[in-house]
Structure 1
Amino acid sequence: MMLLPWLVGCVHPTDIDPEPSDRALVFTGERPRNVLMISIDTLRRDHVDRYATDGVTRMPFLSSLLQTGVALDDHQQCGDWTFHSMTCTLLGRQTEEIGWVARPTGADPTPLPDQPMLAFRLDQAGYQSLLASTTGWLQDSWNNTRGYQPDLAHGVVQATEVMDVALEGLSAALDTAPTKPWFLHAHLVEPHAAYDPPETYREELHALPPIPWDLDDHVEQYAAADSWPDLTPEMQDLLDRHLQARYDGECRWLDDQLAVIWQRLESGGLLDDTLVVLYTDHGEAFWEHGVQSHAHFLQAEENDAILWFWSRTMEARAWSGPTTAIDLVPTVLDALGLPVPDDGTLPGSVVGLAAPDRARFSSTACREGGLAAVTVEGDKLQFRFDGTLQLYDRDLDRQELVDRYDPEDPRVSELWELLRPRVELLSAAAPDLPVTWPAGN
């Protein structure tokens, strides 16, 4: 893999302690005119070298990118699975606020009501917006792609091929309307299950003893994970090692593809007047809380995320202030010099303008029923509809492995006062999910 010398060697980010009046995105020249958005499915934050705690090198190219532009180092998603998180990210608000929540196939999901998604807002501002999506959860049928032209990438999976299709679509659009600004969004599905990287990324896997499942098949992977409680400790460990090796291989493969993609964009001149936005839609669990995959809970392995902005005229900095996925839309609009509506439809903040003690919310209504969480500074409270409350101190325990819940802890009552109205909204949006309210709350 070749790293572009200008990319890794000429820009040095500056750590900034954010002030409420200080925009994180600062331009030294003209603001970019176009937008390239890359969303990545199922990528754990701590598997990107910049955030890794285990010292393992998996994604050096992506980490080199994060040294340029503006990387948000304390970022959370608004959900824990693609339908939910991509919808609330591109909408710019928690969907329970509009009386709707993403549901899995078995719960008879309904399309999103007409809403001003980012592509719709940019369309109204004169942009041509194109989407290359590799997931069935970001499609016209769910109405969360409002404003995009028809999807370009049906049936395409490999990241470089998705970008090829996306760039072909952009070229055709520019042939038709060469003077219009453009918004191109590519959603990459790696490293989603099944974890099946090419053979050259399986060295670690081949060193392991065999197991009785074909993990190249996502159905068998999910079946293997479901059998976890009934396995011997030795087989649990071996299954985990197989899945981790496969997932790591997917991450390394994706990283190499991102390097190829970036070089193509650079050589094609597509970065010259462009705001690049790269983010993850959710993470992936490996039994930190008893489950594997995602769409289960809102702890760090599923809910912590990446968001990064870049343009040639943007000052590089590492942003340590608290951010959430619903900040993406107002920040993009602001970066383009477009007005950010103050009508309540975008309750997030332009990155840098939020108070450091802001409350950040996330929610889900999927495999484990309903859940909602709130984070204020280092404290995070998660509520499960079965009545369980869990408290985490992210300053001491960033991976949220130690539940510090104590009903007498004043932090619990303070956070619950913020979270309960959100639970009520989520419950109203998913009335089939019963709520057991905590005793005394």
Structure 2
Amino acid sequence: MPVGHALPTVPTKCTNGGSHNVRLKHTSATERRKPLLVVCLCKPRRSWRGTVCPSRSIARTALALALTICAGCQTHTEPAPLRGADVVLIVVDTLRADHLGFSGYPRPTSPFLDKLAAESAVFTNTVAPSSFTRESVAALFTGRWPSCIGAVGWNATPKDSSTTLAEDFANAGYRTVMLTLTTMLSDPAFARGFHHVEHLARQWGVSRAGPQLTRRALELWQEPRAQPLFLYLHYLDPHGPYDPPAEVLARFEAFAPEADALDLYRDIRPHLPELRRSGFGIGDPRFHELVGRYDAEIAHTDLALRELFAGLRARDTGRRLLVVLTADHGEEFLEHGFVEHAWTLYQESVRVPLLLWAPGVIRPEHSPQPASLVDVAPTLRQLVGLRGSAEGGEVLFAPAKVGLGARPLGERLRFSELGIAERNVVRALWRGEWKYIAARRWLAPEARAQSSQIEERLRQSGTLPSLPTGDRLEHEELFHLASDPAEQRDRKHEAPEELACMRQLVEAHERRCPFAGPASHPAATLAPHEAEALRQLGY
């Protein structure tokens, strides 16, 4: 086949109503060994060009990449099997997937969720679109990557140009309710489309509030209503500072006396280099006590979720019920030299659980298909029959012999982004067995501790810091997750072709969805209560 000869186009349907073709074009005469050029043509939307990548299988890999890159195109129009169902979307803040029993964690953190997972479709390979709550939830609500909707940085919100799930449900005749324990979602943009919003926590640093959220949710659930309900619940307890009830903590081995317990934000984060030099880490009782408190917070949330499900099941509304449970991000415990979240995009910060529960409709299974939180919006829109864009995300289900089963997604591209110029400006890309990390701004762990001290001093003065971000890459890493799931061996010097491909794919994504500003916001003056809330949260 001659160089530049185009393969047959693949007709699909654009979410904006335009026509669309995916074209795979060879850029080398040796067609099976050399790169392919992925070209996305979508009208009336402005088209954009993909990139050159090595192809292991022309028919499989390149087509999957093309369909992933060409965001906004749908190739499936299955009917809505849960039209008119009540829908409960649960986010547990800071919940790592690998600290749950059904993911193989040995500690008893999640006995109820383990039982629920056996009745649900569980996507075991799910990543969050960011390791920062505002960026991640904005993407969850819209089904689009944070940078594509301008939801970047400390003040990230879903922009007016992006339709939210709540708006779609409201337009379909649903009553829409948000109950949240995090003030990270206090901006009115997150409330867009909700008929009723309650922020149940006024002070940060107060754990053990999960049962309060459950009780309020069940009060609303019991109210008479003629409309189906879309209920968004945001639990917070696994988030720092890790202060679980003593009776729950007692389930876990006590590694250190109470007097030796270290506060995450006051004692650990700003002084981590000194702590590491004193032996803080695996084998140190102080470190294991910290992880134990985090695990106990998960266990306490598990109790609140058990109570929630008991109440949901107790009342027959006459409608089907769909429950989605996930997390906005994970949490670091020195796997890559630092703690908490919103600093990096390593697996411990972005790998999250994703469960969908709808007995009789969704088939229980554990699926390894590559999923992202941006898939939740298009999946719910299809399951319930809502109008709305599917740009950025994938529909996760297809008809199976019994109910709905996980849809094969192939070697799709998944992104995660962190655009906090005051910390790190970084993107991660997953492609098949590979993961690439590219940072325009990158602080090493030692510098993060110092940066957190500076942040604290500036917040005490009522401002957020703002730092310039350069255009060049400051840091990049390449990991082969199949052989190195903990991301301990950087392979960028061993796999130069894969590195070049991944770098070009990220650059193509950046051209389409640049970090706003870029990713840097003017120093913001905060009201005293806002500064205190951020300080207690650790931001």
Which category describes the TM-score, using the shorter chain as reference length? Answer: 0.7 to 0.9
In the alignment, the residues of structure 2 paired with residue 415 and residue 340 of structure 1 have an alpha-carbon distance, to the nearest angstrom, of 30
Asked if 1:403 corresponds to 2:490, the answer is: yes
Which amino acid in 2 is paired with 1:51? S
**What is the CA distance between 1:142 and its match in structure 2?**
4.6
Asked if 1:303 corresponds to 2:303, the answer is: no
Asked if 1:84 corresponds to 2:135, the answer is: yes
1:28-65, Cα deviation, whole Å (9 max, x unpaired): x865611011111001110011213x533321211221
In the alignment, the residues of structure 2 paired with residue 425 and residue 290 of structure 1 have an alpha-carbon distance, to the nearest angstrom, of 32
> What is residue 418 of structure 2 aligned with on the other side?
364
- Which residues of 2 match residues 104-143 of structure 1 at below 5 A? 104=154, 109=155, 111-114=157-160, 115-139=162-186, 141-143=187-189
Asked if 1:245 corresponds to 2:292, the answer is: yes
The DSSP-based 3-state class of the residue aligned with 1:401 is: coil
> What is residue 230 of structure 1 aligned with on the other side?
274
Q: Which has the larger radius of gyration?
A: 2
Asked if 1:42 corresponds to 2:94, the answer is: yes
- Which residues of 2 match residues 28-427 of structure 1 at below 5 A? 33-52=85-104, 55-98=106-149, 100-104=150-154, 109=155, 111-114=157-160, 115-139=162-186, 141-155=187-201, 158-172=209-223, 175=224, 178-203=225-250, 204=252, 206-209=254-257, 215=263, 219-220=265-266, 223-231=267-275, 232-236=277-281, 237-269=284-316, 273-314=320-361, 315-339=363-387, 341=389, 346-352=391-397, 355-366=409-420, 368-386=423-441, 387-406=474-493, 409-424=496-511, 427=514
Which stretch shows the higher mean deviation, 408-417 or 42-51? 408-417
Bigger proportion of residues as strand: 2
In the alignment, the residues of structure 1 paired with residue 430 and residue 515 of structure 2 have an alpha-carbon distance, to the nearest angstrom, of 22
> What is residue 9 of structure 1 aligned with on the other side?
none
In the alignment, the residues of structure 2 paired with residue 26 and residue 85 of structure 1 have an alpha-carbon distance, to the nearest angstrom, of 29
Contact kept in structure 1, 2:243 and 2:293, CA below 8 Å? yes
Which amino acid in 1 is paired with 2:271? S
Contact kept in structure 1, 2:426 and 2:438, CA below 8 Å? yes
**What is the CA distance between 1:255 and its match in structure 2?**
1.6
1:90-131, Cα deviation, whole Å (9 max, x unpaired): 111013113x13322xxxx26543131100111111111000
**What is the CA distance between 1:150 and its match in structure 2?**
3.3
1:264-312, Cα deviation, whole Å (9 max, x unpaired): 2111236951111111110000011111000011110011111111112
**What is the CA distance between 1:224 and its match in structure 2?**
1.9
Aligned-CA RMSD value: 2.8
Which amino acid in 2 is paired with 1:346? E
Which stretch shows the higher mean deviation, 144-153 or 123-132? 144-153
> What is residue 10 of structure 1 aligned with on the other side?
none
- Which residues of 2 match residues 19-30 of structure 1 at below 5 A? none
Contact kept in structure 1, 2:142 and 2:163, CA below 8 Å? yes
1:212-265, Cα deviation, whole Å (9 max, x unpaired): 5663xx642xx4222110123434433321211111111121222222221121
In the alignment, the residues of structure 1 paired with residue 375 and residue 495 of structure 2 have an alpha-carbon distance, to the nearest angstrom, of 33
Contact kept in structure 2, 1:201 and 1:253, CA below 8 Å? yes
**What is the CA distance between 1:190 and its match in structure 2?**
1.6
Which amino acid in 2 is paired with 1:406? H
Normalised by the length of structure 1, the TM-score is: 0.82
Which amino acid in 2 is paired with 1:49? G
Gaps of 5+ in 2: 1-63, 65-73, 203-207, 398-406, 442-473, 522-539
The DSSP-based 3-state class of the residue aligned with 2:356 is: strand
In the alignment, the residues of structure 2 paired with residue 225 and residue 321 of structure 1 have an alpha-carbon distance, to the nearest angstrom, of 35
The structure, 1 or 2, with the larger RCO (C-alpha pairs under 8 Å, 6+ apart) is: 1
Which amino acid in 2 is paired with 1:71? V
